[in-house]
Amino acid sequence: MPSVDLLSPGRIDGFDTCNRMFMAPMTRSRALPRGVPSDLAIEYYGQRASAGLLITEGTAPAATGIGYARTPSIDTPEQIAAWKKIADAVHARRGRIFMQFMHVGRIAHSANRYVSDPPVAPSVVRAAGQMWTDALGMQDLDTPRALDTSEIPGVIAQYAQATTNALAAGFDGVELHSASGYLPMQFLSTGSNRRTDGYGGGVHNRIRFVVEALEAMAAAAGDASRVGIKISPAMPFNDIQDDDPIETYTTLVKAIAPMGLAYLHVLRTPPLPTIFEILRPLFFGPFAAGGAFDQRSGNAMLESGGADFIVFGKLFTSNPDLPERFAVGAPLTSFDASTFYTPGPKGYIDFPAMSGSGSLP
C-alpha cells in the first residue's frame, strides 16, 4: 500500500479532499453585534482554503447558545447571508468548509449575550472561572439554569435548524462541538450532569443528548455523511470533569459509529494520551486526530494508520498556506496568542501567504 502523508488526497464520504489536513475550529471573536460574521471572515477563511477541510469557528445554533464576546450564530437571515459569502469565498478557491455548532451551555456571561434569558445547562452547576466581556472586562461565569426535560427537544431542534441554515448558506457539512466543556460535553460528563431524567445518571443516559443532536442534524442534512463530531475526552478545560471518561467515550463512539457520519474529530489532551488508540478501532468512518501536531508528528500518525486526517489549529492562524509550506519545507510563522480574540484585522488576516497564491498548484 502506498504510504500516506499530510499532502496525500483524502476522502470524506461524498467528496474528495486535496490533502489530509483539517483546519481546526477556532473562535476568533471578530463577529459583528447580534452574531453576524464580519466581512473580515470572508478574507480569513478564503486565505486558508488550501486546507483539505476548513472547520469554522464555534458558531451558535441559536442566540441562546452564545456565551463569548463577538461570536457568531446561524439562525437569522442576516447571519445566513453573511455566512454564505464566506462559504462562497472558500469554494471559489476550491476549498471545502464545514460549520462547527458551538452551544456553550453554562460557559457564558450575560454581558456577551443579546437574549435576556440565563444560560442553560444540564444542571445548576456553575463552572469555576471567568470570561472576557467587552462591557465589563473579566467576569465570573454565570450560574446556569437547568433545562427542563420538556425543553430538550427544542434545543435539539435548534441544531437541526442550524444544519438546514448552514447547508442553505452553502456549507459542505456541519460539526457538532461536543468538546471543551460546552453544552454537549456538559451532558456527557458526571461533574456537570446531575440529572435524574433520561438525560442523566448512567452513561447511556448521559450520551443521549449528543446522539439525539447528531440524529437531528443528520435528518436535517438528509445524509449523515455531512455531519461530523468533535470530542475531547478527559479535557479539563472550562471546569469539566468526568468520573470515567474512557467508559463515557467508548460508549458514545460505539453508539454513533453505525450512523455513517462524515468523521470523528478527536482532540487529544494530556490527561488521556492514549485516546486515539482507544477510540480509533471503535469508529468505522474517517478519523481526524488533533492536538499539538506538527508536520513530522502528523505524517507519522497518518503513516502508522492511527488517523485518516490531522487537525491543525494554532499553526493555521499564522500560516494561511500551511499545506503549501509543508510541501516545500518552508519556515513557519509563529502564532500570536495576543491577537487570537482581539477585534479587527490585526493578527487575523494580515499573516501573508508564502507566495501570495493561497492555493496548491
Ligand X SMILES: Cc1cc2nc3c(=O)[nH]c(=O)nc-3n(C[C@H](O)[C@H](O)[C@H](O)COP(=O)(O)O)c2cc1C
Nearer to ligand X, 334 or 357 (CB): 334
Catalytic-residue membership of 68: no
Q: Which residue has the cell 451551555?
A: 105
Nearer to ligand X, 24 or 203 (CB): 24
Site string for ligand X, 80-119 (x = CB under 6 A): --------------------x-x-----------------
Q: What is the C-alpha to C-alpha distance for residues 351 and 56, in angstroms, rounded to an integer?
A: 18
Three cell numbers written together for 256 = 454513533
The closest alpha carbon to 158, from 74, 264, 67, belongs to: 74
Nearer to ligand X, 200 or 235 (CB): 235
Nearer to ligand X, 199 or 341 (CB): 341
Find the binding residues for ligand X in span 325-344 (CB under 6 A): 340
Q: Could you write out the DSSP letters of every residue in 240-258?
A: ---S-HHHHHHHHHHHHGG
Nearer to ligand X, 15 or 340 (CB): 340
Residue 138 binds ligand X, judged by CB under 6 A: no
- Tell me the sheet residues that pair with 146: 121
The closest alpha carbon to 224, from 142, 276, 283, 294, belongs to: 283
| Member of 20, 48, 113, 177 binding ligand X (CB under 6 A) | 177
Least Å distance, CB 183 to ligand X, is: 13
Q: What is the C-alpha to C-alpha distance for residues 62 and 65, in angstroms, rounded to an integer?
A: 6
Residue 61 binds ligand X, judged by CB under 6 A: no
Least Å distance, CB 185 to ligand X, is: 10
HSE-CB at 124 with a 13 A cutoff on CA atoms is 3
Q: By rule CB under 6 A, what count of residues binds ligand X? A: 21
Region binding ligand X by CB under 6 A among candidate stretches 124-132, 150-158, 249-257, 306-314? 306-314
Residue 25 binds ligand X, judged by CB under 6 A: yes
The catalytic residue among 45, 182, 341, 348 is 182
Question: First vs last Cα of the chain: how many Å apart?
Answer: 25
Q: Which residues contact 196 (CB under 8 A, 6 or more apart)?
A: none
